Amino acid sequence: MYVRETMADLKMMLFILLFAAAMAASEAQSLAGCLNKCGDVDIPYPFGVGVQPGTSRNCFLDETFQLTCDKSTLFLKDLPVSNIFLQEGQIDISMHISRVCFDRSGVVLDQSISNFYTGGAFTISSGKNTIISLGCDTLSFAYFPDHNLSYSGGCVTLCDTPPPKETNPNTCSGSGCCQVNNIPIGKKNYSLAVSTFNNHTKVLAFNNCSYSFLAKQGWFNFSLDYLHYFPFDMAPFSLDWTISNSTYACKSNSYCMDSKVGAGFNCKCKLGFEGNPYHPDGCHDVDECSRPNNCSIPKQCYNFVGGYSCSCPPHYKGDGYTNGTGCTKDHRRSMYKWVVIIIALGCSVGLLVVIAVVLSVGWADKQKSLKDLRKRNFEQNGGCVLLGQLSQKEGYTERTKIFKEVQLINATNNFHQSRVIGTGGQCIVYKGILPNNTPVAIKKAKVGDDPRQIRDFISEVAVLSQINHKNVVRLLGCCLETKIPLLVYEFVDNGTLLDHINPTKTTSPISWEARLKIATETAEAISYLHSVTSIPIVHRDIKFANILLDCNYKAKVSDFGASRLVPLDNSDVCTVVQGTFGYLDPEYLHTGQLNEKSDVYSFGVVLMELLTASKVVEFNRQGKVNLATHFESSMKANRLREILDKWVLDEKNGEEMEEVALLAMRCISVKREERPTMKEVAKELDLIANKAR
């Protein structure tokens, strides 16, 4: 009997170990196509190495979590990584050991000081590390600087003769070795120095070196042999890591937990879920019924999303849980049991029939109400008028689809928060997947009950449906069955121009040739809006954030929420001033008179951004808050090359950049009549690009 129980326990233990290993493997998942292992070290997202194959997306969340793999060794910056712990929010790296060694006359032979700075999302783990001092004439000093409060500490080891052989070799209590465990919380850097009192002259016969290092608790076991020869150059220690509060990193079925050791947060899977909470796929449901659980009868386990329940089979009583009442045979059966069952069944059937009738009537009434509401919304949003306008324009009815509300609900998982890809003052943009697996961008436009707003919305959709240009985000259709109309656009998957040339970052990865191509394509798109469509369209909000890029860096002009139609017989339209500060046409800002030259001014500022990679508005820019003012001042002072982006400026393209700068200056001319048209701008950029090839 005892042997059978022991074997059962061993099998259960083996099952749990395999289960734990499977969980660890499932958590340590990288992005698709990215390196998931370097040597023996797993690489879980948000950490990563390099770029996803076939895309321009990084394998890591941001530069903080960028790793490199060289000859089966994983590095964080230039420090070896031995472990990454996803759930604990920790990473083990190795650091050089501080030491000082002397010859027989007490002269220094070798000396090194260990300095470390983590930066970013990393802090030195307080509860996982210890400061070790080794030697018989050793003074160890650790300094943890901070801009608010610095901390220092250390310990001393002295012994004029070798410690006795009976000394416990695994203790580090002062005789040849000492340690300090109270590492301060939240520190990002340290300096670890080691010195002596007598240059080891009194102990040279058995110990001529002193060592000091920060090490992960449990790694170092003291040995008397280390006083004669210490074989290690580096020691592993632990860092805590967090996600910046400015980044949304927790994916589906997870939650964020504020860090107790520093700024930021970590992500955890919700109870009943497992996996990598940082991975785009999020955490997935745990099937507790296929694993060790608390059900007293395994077959009576029922799994559901986020948990499981236990029950007892017929003729048993109890709650079904091993830590509860379990399941026991129910012997309390009376003679009239079957009579009660028959009566209960009869009553239940009758009640179910009544409930079914009531529910059917209620469901039919609800469906009719929903249908009437959708029809009413469709009419109030001008659906009939829009259909009439589209039907009069040959080919546009097929190109512009009128979607049903249920189609967009299914495409966005009922407009789930995880599908939000952009927000603004006037709209929220969701990513949707149509039944044919086509990705789309669905914008919730905020249109009120004002009949004029409805009329403008209808006109805007009707005109946008005519746009068919390779560098304009295409309007696929709209939904008018909701109270707030929804617009459906093609999905562009490589972010905005601001994501790739961001003045808040230190690098500008897009080459000058690519920037010139993007500028030319954007100019052609705006020129198309101004002159090719049946009614000229003024975009009114041309800026970096509204220029999307696909995986081949093709430009796509987007966000027509502020756009206005300008009749051909009216060169100026008076509107409420709307746009983004720094890009606004001064004359439009002053008079409220809108025309195509307002877009020309905004595009001129975009050219300046491409040339300088600077912020449009910068309050610390030597009194020149606006980029346009700063750029114009530098041009007049013949200091253009001082403000050009150093990442792309070289001898080959300097002349081209100067030509584009002159064009940008013409675009931001105070007098509108002195500005070129977008057609002229596009033609001139094309000529510059052709010369550059």
Element (H, E) at 399: helix 396-399
Using CA atoms, how far apart are residues 300 and 277, in angstroms rounded to an integer?
30
Cα(560)–Cα(546) distance, integer angstroms = 9
What is the DSSP annotation of 145-194?
--SS--EEEEEEEE-SSPPPTTS-TT--SSSSEEEE--PPTT--EEEEEE
The rounded distance, in Å, linking the Cα atoms of 332 and 644 is: 90
477: alpha, beta or left? (left if phi > 0; alpha if psi -120 to 50): left
Of 240, 541, 585, 599, which residue is the catalytic one? 541
Cα–Cα nearest to 469, from 542, 521, 417 = 521
Q: DSSP of 436-488, one letter per residue?
A: TS-EEEEEEE---S-HHHHHHHHHHHHHHTT---TTBPPEEEEE-SSSS-EEE
* CB contact at 8 A, 460 and 390: no
Per the annotation, the verdict on 160 as an active-site residue is no
Give the Cα separation of 196 and 202 in Å (integer). 11
Rounded-to-integer distance, Cα 378 and Cα 453, Å: 15
Place of tokens 């309390």: 332
CA distance 232 to 226: 10
Q: Are 184 and 125 in contact (CB under 8 A)?
A: no
CB 136 within 8 A of CB 159: yes
Which of the 8 DSSP states describes residue 682? H
Annotated catalytic residues are 541
